[in-house]
């Protein structure tokens, strides 16, 4: 009997793409980012995602960064590397999924196609083609309707998983995500979910049975602590810590480019990456947004060091 596929559990950050001040990919900073993540006890990560500015990367850059992540984590015992396939064209997405599996990806994340409003059948066909191309490697579907406009429902996802059993999870980024997480859990058999969107609704997601959270990567220690408190039965303390974090992440998550800029500035100020450069078009933080980041770092110094 084959072993059950591994799921995303706990804190699984989406890695940023560091750039130099001139806008070139900074591979050395990317290496430091991976090393920092590992030293914080993280044992799963995803690349590339919205937080990686994947939509601003050339093919060779994306390939080089993904390869670097797979090589650097390949020998880490128990590490799950999730390679995302956000490509819109089904043929391209199928090739990317197969290539990622060949290079050792532990899981494939699929972002449904969304440009120009593809039909529900077209989205279903795309997902099935990519999921089947990745088999037997497990697949997680990223449901981010606020960013993509794509509409999915729990019943159709569960039916797709019955046809393609290597579909094992959904990353839920609907707003709010709770009802969708509950709907997935109510399927027969229950379907696993991970909450994204910087964990703004993490506590509700945990109460509804989410197995993991996919935030950004600049302050993973805070998410690790929230998760550990919850898992250890100290739920009140977990809620208190999340409540302290909430004003910051709820502000940053008003816009993808805003949270990318904020996370990069935090990583730079912490000495993890060399520059907080974001490729244009991007969001430029104003003086008050920068001051808020300074307050954030001071408030959470005991966890961030």
Mean pLDDT, residues 91-117 taken together: 96
Residue 224 lies in a domain: no
Tell me how crowded residue 67 is: count the other CB atoms within 10 A of its CB: 12
The confidence score (pLDDT) of residue 284 equals 97
CA dihedral 52, 291, 220, 111 (to 10 degrees): -30
Residue 232 lies in a domain: no
User: In this structure, are residues 65 and 84 in contact, taking their beta carbons and an 8 Å threshold?
Assistant: no
Nearest-5° angle of CA 239, CA 200, CA 37?
Answer: 90
Q: What is the pLDDT of residues 220-253, one digit of tens each?
A: 999 999 999 999 999 999 999 999 999 999 999 9
Which ranges constitute the DSSP H helices of 4-153? 27-39, 59-73, 90-102, 120-134, 145-148
Tokens of 297: 């770092």
| pLDDT more than 70, % of the chain | 98
Residue of 220, 208, 213, 178 whose CA lies nearest to 194: 213
Residue 272 lies in a domain: no
The confidence score (pLDDT) of residue 149 equals 74
Helix, strand or coil, per DSSP, at residue 254: coil
Number of domains the chain contains: 1
User: In this structure, are residues 11 and 223 in contact, taking their beta carbons and an 8 Å threshold?
Assistant: yes
CATH number reported for the structural domain that contains residue 209 in this entry: 3.20.20.70
Q: Residue 173 belongs to what domain range?
A: 10-219
The confidence score (pLDDT) of residue 3 equals 63
Q: What is the pLDDT of residues 5-47, one digit of tens each?
A: 789 999 999 999 999 999 999 999 999 999 999 999 999 999 9
* CA gap 110, 131 in Å, rounded: 8
Q: Which residue has the tokens 């933080």?
A: 285
Residue 266 lies in a domain: no
Q: Which residue has the tokens 């159709």?
A: 156
Helix, strand or coil, per DSSP, at residue 82: strand
For 111-120, which contacts have Cβ atoms below 8 Å and span 24 or more sequence positions? 111/84, 111/85, 111/86, 111/142, 111/144, 111/148, 112/141, 112/142, 112/143, 112/148, 112/150, 112/152, 113/88, 113/89, 113/150, 114/88, 114/148, 114/149, 114/150, 115/88, 117/149, 118/150, 120/151, 120/156
Mean pLDDT, residues 202-230 taken together: 98
Residue 165 lies in a domain: yes
Residue 41 lies in a domain: yes
Mean pLDDT, residues 92-107 taken together: 98
Residue 139 lies in a domain: yes
How would residue 145 be classed by pLDDT, with cut points 50, 70 and 90? confident
Q: What is the pLDDT of residues 262-303, one digit of tens each?
A: 999 999 999 999 999 999 999 999 999 999 999 999 999 999
How would residue 202 be classed by pLDDT, with cut points 50, 70 and 90? very high
Mean pLDDT, residues 77-90 taken together: 97
pLDDT at 1 over 50: no
Residue 246 lies in a domain: no
């Amino acid at each position: 009997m084959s072993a059950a596929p591994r799921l995303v559990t706990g804190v699984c950050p989406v890695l940023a793409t560091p750039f130099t001040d001139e806008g070139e990919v900074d591979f050395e900073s990317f290496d430091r980012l991976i090393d920092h993540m590992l030293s914080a006890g993280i044992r799963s990560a995803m690349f590339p995602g919205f937080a990686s500015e994947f939509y601003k990367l050339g093919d060779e850059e994306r390939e080089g960064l993904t390869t670097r992540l797979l090589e650097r984590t390949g020998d880490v015992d128990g590490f799950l590397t999730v390679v995302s396939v956000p490509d819109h064209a089904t043929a391209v997405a199928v090739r990317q999924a197969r290539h990622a599996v060949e290079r050792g990806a532990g899981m494939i994340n699929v972002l449904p196609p969304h440009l120009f409003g593809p039909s529900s059948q077209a989205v279903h066909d795309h997902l099935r083609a990519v999921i089947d191309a990745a088999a037997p490697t497990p697949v997680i579907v990223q449901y981010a309707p606020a960013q993509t406009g794509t509409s999915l429902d729990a019943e159709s996802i569960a039916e797709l998983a019955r046809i393609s059993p290597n579909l094992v999870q959904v990353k839920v980024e609907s707003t709010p995500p709770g009802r969708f997480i509950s709907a997935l859990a109510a399927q027969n058999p229950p379907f696993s979910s991970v909450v994204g969107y910087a964990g703004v609704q993490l506590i509700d997601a945990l109460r509804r049975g989410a197995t993991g959270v996919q935030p950004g990567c600049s302050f993973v220690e805070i998410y690790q602590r929230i998760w550990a408190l919850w898992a250890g039965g100290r739920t009140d303390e977990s809620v208190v810590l999340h409540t302290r974090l909430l004003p910051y992440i709820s502000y940053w998550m008003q816009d993808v480019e805003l949270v990318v800029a904020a996370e990069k500035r935090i990583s730079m100020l912490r000495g993890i990456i060399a520059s907080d450069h974001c490729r244009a078009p991007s969001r430029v933080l104003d003086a008050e947004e920068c001051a808020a980041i300074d307050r954030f770092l001071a408030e959470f110094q005991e966890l961030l060091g």
